[in-house]
Each structure stands twice: as C-alpha cells, then as structure tokens.
Amino acid sequence: MGVGIIGIGHYAPDNIVTNADLEKIVDTTDEWIRTRTGIEERRIAKDDEDSSDMALIAAEKALKSAGKTAEEIDLILVATVTPDKSFPSVACMIQDRLGATNAAAMDLAAACAGFMYGVITGQQFIEAGAYKNVLVVGVDKLSKITDWTDRNTCVLLGDGAGAAVLSSVSEGNGILSFELGASGKGGPHLLQKDDGFLYMNGREVFKFAVRQMPESCMNVVEKAGLKKEDVDFLVPHQANIRIMEAARQRIGIDEDKMATTIKYYGNNSSASIPIALSQSIEDGKIKDGDVVVLVGFGGGLTWGAVALRWGK
C-alpha cells in the first residue's frame, strides 16, 4: 500500500483586491506587478475572518471530496505562520468545529513550504501504521501581518486555505518520494519583524528560490526512480511566475502542465500549493495515474517537494 491524497479542497475569501486597487495605496503600477510577478489580483479576508475560519471551510471540502467523516480523522496538521492565536492552535480550533473528536491536532510552521512539511509528516504516521486518516491544512492570513505601505511586499500576498486528506492508497499510487530542507542561515531574508510586519529581501529570496525549486523538483523525480519526461503535472508554490517558470523549464514540461493560480490569488503562503493543486483537480487538469510534482519554498528558509502518482 502507498500513502496518497484521497480528497482535496480549497477556499479563498470573496474580497478581490486588484493591482489597480493597490495603485491607489502605494507607489506601484499594474504593469510592474504583472510583468515582475504574474499577479493580477489577490483575495483579502475581512477583519472578522481569521485563519481558522478559512481552514475550516477548506477542511470541510477536503473531507467531502475524500468521502470521510470528521470522526474518521486521526490527526489534524495545520501548516500556518498566521494562526488566530499562538494557542490554542488552529488545528485544535477546527478539530472542535469539524467535530473531529478522535483526532490529535497540532499546528506546524514552515511558512510557504508548510503544506509540504505537513503532508510528509502525515505520511509518516500512516506509513508507520499509527494512523489511518490525516487531515493536512495549509492556511494563512498574511494580510494581518502585511505592511500596506510597503510596495515591496504588499503587492505579492493574499489570503486563503487549502486542505487534503491523506490515507492509504493502492500500491504504486500516492507519494513516491519527497525532499524537505531548511537553511536557518537564510532566515533574515524573510521574516516577521518585531513590529509584527512581514519583511522580505526580494532579491535574495528570488536568488534562493530560482536555484532551489528546480533542484528539488529534479531530486524528487530521481528519488522516485523516474525521469523528468515522466512528470505529467507540476504544482509549484505560487510566489512569482518567473520562479515557477525556472522550475517548469528544468522539468521541461509545457506551460499548460503547470498550475498557475498566482494570477488570481497572489502568494498564499502555506495555502498556495494546496489551493493550486485543488484548483487543478477541479479544472480537470490532473487525472488518475498522472505523476505530479509539488514543490515549495519559504521563510526559514525552508523548502519541500513531493513526487506522487495521483489516484486512490
């Protein structure tokens, strides 16, 4: 038996903030944002909509798509760097609201690579035989730590949640290989400052990401005993279309074989990969038997990639 994703769902707030809206609050242009990042609009949560509210909706959708009840979930892992509070965790909050009374629950923080860390942590519990069903959620409300006067960061970010249910799947399907990594030395390039706001050294993060994303993609492909020609679909972290392109070109697949939700959502941090994956499933871009590579990087610095064969 393998371990795979048997259900997935996502949620983004209704409130759309366009590049034109941002032109009114910082010194930027729609043209600059589109050409440098690929972003045209992003979703921003209302003041009374916190990470747990978004996580709950994505989790409910994932459970429905997996055909599992909340009581069947053994463990809830929520990847987030913007929990409602430091405790109780978002995982405990949604455990209660879902009625997942049999589940252990905890948050984990690996910024934009958080969902990859969550999936691999969940996989280990299932492979070890400890748990049957693990709910992994990636959620962030970056808008609450965004400095809306800083054009270097505020144009890039958006809010949202994505969730997946992990369970055992038939031999040959599911997770084929993974890579997780961290470089704490790079921490100062992307962090939450003492004033609470997000700070980013865009150039340094860009340099790191254009090297790491393609390398991690190739590493998981090789670890899975595959060739890059075997990859059917790529789901990269949606931080910048130019970084995503570097990964796509290294794998050597067509543009329509890469998830690109960045245009509509911007960078959703921990939620970015599950939103992009869920949207791709919804759009019918991934079919059973496809080899899919998920790859992300983020503050920490952290990175993670997974090669999997889609299907139960």
* Shortest Å distance, C-beta 156 to ligand COA: 6
Q: Does 155 bind ligand COA (CB under 6 A)?
A: yes
Query: Residue 23 is inside which H or E element, if any?
Result: helix 19-23
Q: How many helices (H) and strands (E) does the chain have?
A: 10, 13
As a whole number of angstroms, the distance between CA 18 and CA 212 comes to 30
Would you say 190 or 277 has its CB closer to ligand COA? 190
Task: Closer to ligand COA by CB, 16 or 200: give it.
Answer: 200
What's the CA gap between 256 and 278, in Å, rounded? 16
What part of residues 212-271 is at the interface with ligand COA (CB under 6 A)? Answer: 239-240, 243, 267
Of 33-41, 56-64, 96-104, 287-295, the window that binds ligand COA (rule: CB under 6 A) is 33-41
| Interaction of residue 152 with ligand COA, rule CB under 6 A | yes
How many CA atoms within 13 Å lie on the side-chain side of 102?
Answer: 10
- Length of the chain, in residues: 312
Query: Minimal distance in Å, beta carbon 160 to ligand COA?
Result: 14
Comparing CB distances to ligand COA, the nearer of 74 and 179 is 179
Assess whether 267 carries a catalytic annotation: yes
Binding mask 49-88 for ligand COA (x = CB under 6 A): ----------------------------------------
Q: Is 237 tagged catalytic? A: yes
Which stretches within 38-113 are classed as H helix?
Answer: 51-66, 90-98
210 binds ligand COA (CB under 6 A): no
Lookup: tokens for 36: 């440098």
Report the alpha-carbon distance of residue 76 to residue 87 in Å, rounded: 15
Q: What are phi and psi of 40, to 5 degrees?
A: -115, -30
Nearer residue to ligand COA within complex by CB, 167 or 261: 261
201 flagged as catalytic: no
Among the listed ranges 96-104, 120-128, 147-155, 303-311, the one in contact with ligand COA (CB under 6 A) is 147-155
Question: End-to-end CA distance of the chain, in Å?
Answer: 10
> Which amino acid, residue 58?
A
Nearer to ligand COA, 78 or 239 (CB): 239
Q: Is 34 in the site for ligand COA (CB under 6 A)?
A: no
Q: DSSP letter for 41, please.
A: E
Q: Which residue in the list 19, 133, 189, 237 is annotated as catalytic?
A: 237
Q: Which of 112, 126, 198, 253 binds ligand COA (CB under 6 A)?
A: 112
C-beta of 4 vs 236, nearer to ligand COA: 236
- CA–CA separation, 31 vs 220, rounded Å? 36
- Burial string for 226-256 (b: 16+ CB within 10 Å, else e) reads beeeebbbbbbbbbbbebbbbbbebbebeee
Which residues have a catalytic role annotated? 112, 237, 267
Q: Which residues bind ligand COA (CB under 6 A)?
A: 28, 32-33, 36-37, 112, 151-152, 155, 190, 200, 202-203, 205-206, 209, 239-240, 243, 267, 298
